[in-house]
Amino acid sequence: MAVHSFTPFRKNGYTPLSTVPPSFGANIVRKVIVVIVAVIGLSFLAYPLYSHPNLTSSLSFHNTSPIPNIVHYIYLRKDEAATISFNFAYFLSLYATVMHIAPKRILIHTDFTSAEITHAATHGDPWTRKTLQTFKHIVHFNPVAVPQYSGPNNTIKIKYIQHKSDFVRWVEVEKTGGIYIDSDVYALRPLTPLLNSGFSFIAGRQKGEGIENGAVINKVNNGVFMSKPHSAVTRLMVRDQAMAFATGPYEANLMLLTRVMNALVKVPNEVLICDRHAFSPTSWADTSTRSLYSHNKNPSPVPIETDSLDPVVVFDAVSANKERKMDWEMDLSATYLLHAFKINSYEKEITPKKILKRTSNFGVAMWPVVRRMVEEGLISGNEDE
């Protein structure tokens, strides 16, 4: 069964920003034209255009096309013996992407062969088969060469799969643009306003806590970002990431991204840095992940929902839900995409049955998505593994 995408922005269409063509007067007397041209010519002689950098920059035209609604994932083999295996958490991420973002296509960049993918679709474990079969009309596997060495002289071994993924994501997104999300990222609402904002690159800061490595606090997170094709950020990341990798820190890639984005804030419409609530309301810290996944005795009440786009109606609905929420609930009302750090450590807690109970913050966030799966007949809702 194919997944039907849903978004409240659909009725408004996907309309990029556009420029208004200049209008021209008519029936101008020839003599007046001659006088105007003469005055303009004299003014340029007195004040050459090249001597006014502020004027020349203001005359430049910014590309107001939207960020392409293409979603990028990466799925690389951990070792030579690895086989394709998708769990429910991965299925859930894909489904939330289709439901809320409604992308034109989803690209999964991988070094698994087409034969291995085909075999997994018919012989893999249950969630692997369901994943490959449910999304086959929108997911396209893109074969990539995974770098094994990096550094300025290409002599430093890339040990971790996370670092290999870092190199692949920038190269691939630079080509086509779109929305990059890690497999532990979950869409909570449409991204249309961000894609149409006019910015060439959008990302958000990640949460920092005292017990974390001070080097990564408030850095820009590289697990979620949006980019136009060939944006300045992606080009700089592709150019400089090998040198950054040579510096050694595990977080070198996100530290480079932070430096690049901070520097480009001064360029009009080039980058937008969102606060941590937009994409990374939680962190890697154990206290943060426990508060996201741990189950509580009393379930959260079913929320008041509205399809209205009237700001007052939306505000009142969100306010009413905040008044009714349990004392253990997080406020995710300002979150577009939830980067659910360390989800693999809590795999047993991520099942349809547990999510539908609404007894964890992750369950509350993903309850609308799993409920939709049940309504479409993709699952029963009783699956607990």
The pLDDT tens digits of the residues spanning 260-283 come to 999 999 999 999 999 999 999 998
Three-state DSSP class for residue 20: coil
Report H helices in 85-160.
88-96, 114-123, 126-134
Confidence class of residue 58 from pLDDT cuts 50, 70 and 90?
very low
Position 59 scores a pLDDT of 35
Tokens standing for residue 369: 């998505």
For the chain, the distance separating the N- and C-terminal CA atoms, rounded to the nearest angstrom, is: 21
Model confidence over 297-334: pLDDT tens digits?
899 999 988 888 899 999 999 999 889 899 999 999 99
| CA-angle at 139, arms to 163 and 338, nearest 5° | 55
Position 45 scores a pLDDT of 41
Position 339 scores a pLDDT of 96
Three-state DSSP class for residue 213: coil
C-alpha torsion sign, points 47, 50, 51, 52: positive
Out of 27-36, 139-148, 163-172, 301-310, which region has the weakest mean confidence (pLDDT)?
Answer: 27-36
**Pairing between strand 201-205 and 271-274?**
parallel
Give dist(CA 25, CA 108) in Å, integer. Answer: 53
**Looking at per-residue confidence, does 21 or 226 come out higher?**
226
Position 9 scores a pLDDT of 38
Which CATH number describes the domain made up of 65-385?
Answer: 3.90.550
Out of 51-65, 80-94, 152-166, which region has the weakest mean confidence (pLDDT)?
Answer: 51-65
Share above pLDDT 70 across residues of the chain, in percent, rounded to a whole number: 80
Whether pTM > 0.95 for this model: the answer is: no
Pick from 261, 187, 189, 265: nearest CA to 222: 261
DSSP 216: T
Confidence class of residue 47 from pLDDT cuts 50, 70 and 90?
very low
* 55 neighbors 49 (Cβ within 8 angstroms): yes
* 380 neighbors 370 (Cβ within 8 angstroms): no
DSSP 377: T
Sequence-distant (≥ 6) Cβ neighbours of residue 212 within 8 angstroms: 283, 284, 285
Confidence class of residue 149 from pLDDT cuts 50, 70 and 90?
confident
H or E element: which one contains 186? strand 185-187
Give dist(CA 131, CA 328) in Å, integer. Answer: 32
Neighbouring CB atoms inside 10 A of 153's CB total 9
